[in-house]
């Protein structure tokens, strides 16, 4: 009987801990859900382009902005999925101004055709969200011969923004939102191995491409001073999405750790915040996470590297952007 108190305590804890876990679960889940955009801004009469908007946070961002009254163009590679997403968003929001258009960021011809068609059909562009991307894929090349992650995550958005920049300026105040990643902290820009010419690691290439996105945003914002066009970057958080579809381990971990990951709707909150928050109207060149300013690792603040990357990107794409 001397052991009875200890056994009773153990039994009590065994019964109480699951109950405590159930009670605490909503609070834990709220913590991992991150920040939420609380702006009630309406976007009636505004035109928005979102790349990769047929799934994940891109689709949720499109749904939110369509619900605010914007004319939203889903710029996507897979037109079947894009049309399905557009139809779903139109049905859920009641906004019939949600349109799917073909855009393959791994093909500069497709990017140019999209931009040309856009300017023929639309008079204004108020918000450009460079959301589409690939993550940790095996080594491969774009149609134009660029390393896939560098090409889709950096050069594609760079060219698209270049082709639409005059429209953004003429529609000012307007915003450019680049979806980057906390992964930029592990990135580095080595111009002699910019596209994995000497060595390639999928994870490292992804981080490098997201660092390039941060540097592009920084230099773009500097060049846009005085135009009333802003450019900001963001980290959406760790999300349950298709982005890690190239790695079996990421798919497995995603299923295992779903409780601790953001849903696509939660992951879209910072994209929405950067696109609509009234307090950001004149804020440019910044980096956000969970709907608030976030820390940028030192390599993301290197102005000289940002300028050189800009010049190299122009050279690779065969454009002149002064």
String of DSSP letters for 177-193: EEE--GGGGG----GGG
C-alpha gyration radius of the chain: 22
Distance between alpha carbon 9 and the CA centroid of its chain, in Å?
50
Contact 235, 269 (CB under 8 A): no
Contact 49, 66 (CB under 8 A): no
Beta pairing, strands 292-293 & 287-289: antiparallel
CA-nearest of 87, 309, 314 to 194 is: 309
Quick one: 5 exposed, middle or buried, by C-beta within 10 A (0-12, 13-18, 19+)?
Answer: exposed
pTM, full prediction: 0.88
Residue with tokens 């050189």: 308
| Digit-coded pLDDT (tens) for 197-233 | 999 999 999 999 999 999 999 999 999 999 999 999 9
Catalytic-labelled residue, pool 31, 139, 200, 206: 206
Among this protein's residues, is 206 annotated catalytic? yes
DSSP bridge pairs for 99: 73
Contact 97, 70 (CB under 8 A): yes
- Residue 261's pLDDT is 84
Q: Which residue numbers in the chain have pLDDT < 50?
A: 1-6, 9, 29, 242-244, 246, 249-254, 256
Domain ranges of the chain: 43-317
Which of the four CATH numbers 3.50.50.60, 3.40.50.720, 3.20.20.20, 3.10.290.10 does domain 43-317 have?
Answer: 3.40.50.720
Q: What angle do CA 112, 233, 135 make, to 5 degrees?
A: 70
- First-last CA distance in the chain: 85
Distance of alpha carbon 104 from alpha carbon 72, whole angstroms:
18
Residues found in the chain? 322
Distance of alpha carbon 51 from alpha carbon 221, whole angstroms:
20
Distance of alpha carbon 238 from alpha carbon 31, whole angstroms:
13
Distance between alpha carbon 111 and the CA centroid of its chain, in Å?
18
């Amino acid at each position: 009987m001397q052991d009875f108190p200890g056994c009773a305590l153990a039994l009590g804890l065994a019964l109480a801990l699951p109950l405590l876990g159930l009670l605490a679960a909503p609070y834990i889940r709220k913590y991992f859900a991150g920040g939420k955009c609380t702006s009630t801004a309406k976007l009636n009469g505004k035109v928005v382009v979102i790349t990769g908007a047929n799934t994940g946070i891109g689709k949720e961002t499109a749904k939110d902005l369509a619900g605010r009254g914007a004319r939203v163009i889903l710029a996507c590679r897979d037109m079947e999925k894009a049309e399905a997403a557009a139809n779903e968003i139109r049905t859920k929001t009641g906004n019939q101004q949600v349109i799917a258009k073909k855009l393959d960021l791994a093909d500069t011809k497709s990017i140019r055709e999209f931009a040309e068609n856009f300017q023929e059909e639309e008079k204004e562009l108020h918000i450009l969200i460079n959301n589409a991307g690939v993550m940790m894929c095996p080594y491969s090349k774009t149609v134009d011969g660029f390393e896939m992650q560098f090409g889709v995550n950096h050069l594609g958005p760079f060219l698209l923004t270049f082709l639409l920049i005059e429209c953004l300026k003429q529609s000012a105040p307007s915003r450019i939102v680049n979806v980057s990643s906390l992964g930029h902290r592990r990135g580095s820009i080595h111009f002699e191995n910019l596209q994995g010419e000497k060595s390639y690691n999928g994870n490292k290439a992804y981080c490098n491409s997201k660092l390039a996105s941060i540097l592009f945003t920084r230099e773009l914002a500097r060049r846009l001073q005085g135009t009333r066009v802003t450019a900001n970057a963001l980290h959406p958080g760790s999300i349950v999405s298709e982005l890690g579809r190239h790695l079996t381990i990421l798919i497995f971990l995603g299923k295992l750790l779903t409780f601790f990951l953001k849903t696509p709707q939660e992951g879209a909150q910072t994209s929405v915040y950067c696109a609509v928050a009234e307090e950001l109207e004149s804020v440019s060149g910044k980096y956000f996470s969970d709907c608030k300013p976030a820390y940028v690792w030192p390599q993301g603040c290197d102005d000289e590297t940002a300028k050189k990357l800009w010049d190299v990107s122009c050279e690779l794409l065969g454009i002149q952007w002064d």
